[in-house]
Structure 1
């Protein structure tokens, strides 16, 4: 799930809240529809395909300072959990 668009939020913390909220809304819809399996495409920003220059959106290639905002996955580049990880765990915990 990739939800970044311009304008970017002012801080990484705000971005992380936005991404976590997107995970919550997405998973709530799935679990409400009785989906019982969710597959992710990656777990850490360290190895995310979106950070590869061959796949990175052009708007991020043009301004390398914006690359810090390419963090859509549950764990950051240092493998530390982000708010998205907490949102996923909470959604699974609340699923019936």
Structure 2
């Protein structure tokens, strides 16, 4: 949930800065660059607790995916071993 809040906050600041820069006729490319840099700095410096909480959410998300793929690899290895053992016993 914190990841979503942080992402929406950062996107909102980026959009606000982009619109302001376009209003000031800075140009499309420079407006986009300024918007990204200012949103990054504002969120990182202005909301450090939310930044850390979003990072923890992201770590939990990747840890969960990694553990689920590890289980599937273990299951695959078991199936391969079972097939090997079955083939050895059926030849005798």
Report TM bin, short chain: 0.3 to 0.5
